Structure 1
Amino acid sequence: MPEVTLNTEFEVNLKPYNTFGLPALARRLVRIRSEADVRRVVDHPDYGRAPKFVLGGGSNIVLTRDVEAVVLKMEIPGLRLLEEREDAFIIEAGAGVPWHELVRWSIEQGIGGLENLALIPGTVGAAPVQNIGAYGVELKDRVDSIEVVDLVTGRRALIPASVCRFGYRDSVFKRSDFGGLAGKSVITRVRLRCPKPWQPVLGYLDLERKMAETGISAPSARQIFDWVCEIRRAKLPDPAVIGNAGSFFKNPVVSAEQCRDIIDRDPGIVHYPMPDGTVKLAAGWLIDACGWKGKAVGGAAVYERQALVLVNRGEARGAEVVTLARAIQESVYGRFGIRLEPEPILL
């Protein structure tokens, strides 16, 4: 397949394409604007067999070096109401659509169900990989099916939610083990199921505070959307102003016995009992308790207003972010015996 059929760029600085604002070069970058573009890459005499790296909004990566793999920059557009069923609205979105744009669009269409996931950075195509979640809702709660294209055969497949192996910040698309699809396929479109009748999800402390402050006990989907945007903007830095990848560490899940042991030593620890009897701990609280808020390594620092977020104070390099993250992990493990796991992919 002649290279002219692909929208290819060479030696591309990826700094504008990752929300941390970290410098790295992509030797070859192909802009993917349709499923056909993926098949053209697969059929290409040079790119077809080459390693590939799928890049969405760059909100979940830490670049520590130049990227030798062929970068597939996902820019597939499209938002539509695919189907209205008795029990749900089915929304379809292209992989390149910014996630928050999808959430805002759904609210404008009068469709509730995604409002708790407002203002999460990144693209629609990247959302299932990480199984994004916030304020009591995870993407797995809303996925109907995922459209993918195989990076070896170029064949299209529609994968139902039931086989996506969703877990806490995990999915079949993130795994490279047996049956995993990481590096083997690329998400091109996502279909989401917004249940009817709509039911608000309000069992989160920040939302309960908003209800108490406003006196609104039965908020609409639009009201919850606005609240979530306000809460996130107050807590988290805007990547357009301060480079960051959002929450840097997963909230660790421990046994009830482990949690009781920690409470005996640190009664103020923020924790959330889970339906299966385990307990989710607030990673930000653990980091803050170890005194990391505001600390820095080179240009990388812990955000002063939220210890769970690492930021780029200017000219940080990926190695500095990794060094800071590892120091935090060692500190938390030394005090609490808990190993924090990063959310972003370290590349």
Structure 2
Amino acid sequence: YDCSRGTAIWASWHLSASDMGSVERYSGPFITDTSLPEGWYRAQHRDYTGSGYDRGHLVPSADRTASPADNEATFILTNIVPQAPANNQGPWADLEEHLRSVVRDGNEAYIIAGPQGAAGTIANGAITVPAAVWKVAVVLPDGQGDLARITEDTTVIAVLMPNDASVAGRRWTEFATTVSCIESLTGLDLLAELPDTVEAALSGEGCAPGAGGGGSAPAQAAQGAGVRIVTVEYNPPGDDLAGEYVLLQNAGSAPVTMTGWTLADASGATYRFPEFTLAPGAEVRVWVRAGADTATDLYWGRSQPVWNNSGDTAVLRDAAGAEVSRFVYP
């Protein structure tokens, strides 16, 4: 908690199917946290009234519906940050529901969320309005010994979303980033309990230009702009791992060297191209599974599927990190 901002720095929780029951949403006023030390500002329900900002949950109410007490606890104001309605009720809410859907499908998730940057204040300066909000989720199949089960192939979703009206009507997958980016903006070490090699693989690279604080920057000029993502085979017949691939095409009139390019999903899982050139008019499939690379087929070498059946975003970047092509489904 940051008393100078009047909000949490982060909130962290575990989400399993047992956390989601049939309890109705708490309907009373949001609750002042009287456990804060004397002299620290204690946010009140009325601080948000008429401010233009929602009382935005970090731990969502719908993640805690197993008992009335669990649900009511999410309405304590130290779990709340000022969120733009377009954010809180739009892609942020969609991301929350996506994670609940993933958990209902036989998984569990370790989730961390928090505010980033500053875009003004409410409550006469006592509560800082964040410029962006972020979330990181580590997703595992239901099981025991979770820390030991996290590998370099584990699904990690990282999102950094501007806290303003610019996000209206957009998908949460458009705001995918990396754990490393969020760490660089917040000063936090989010996956510190993992072995260094696993942490590095799951954290990804740093921020794209303009990330953080809700800002944006002009896109860099991409090399090989004729290369595009044609389709993502995300739900093939039979085994997903065996059949998942991304189809790329060089629609230009010149060969494109793709050595060092990357292909990533919304969670930050990233394939890096080996030494490879795509001829004009040619196509190549990037398979998720292991295999021997050829001129028409490249292999990621993963042991688990990548592309979510319920929706995802594939982003192709050149060796300089500039976006070349983006494919959003469904």
TM bucket by the smaller chain? under 0.3
Higher percent of residues as helix: 1
User: Normalising by structure 1, what TM-score?
Assistant: 0.27
Q: TM-score, normalised by structure 2?
A: 0.28
The one of the two structures with greater contact order (alpha-carbon pairs below 8 A, sep at least 6) is: 1
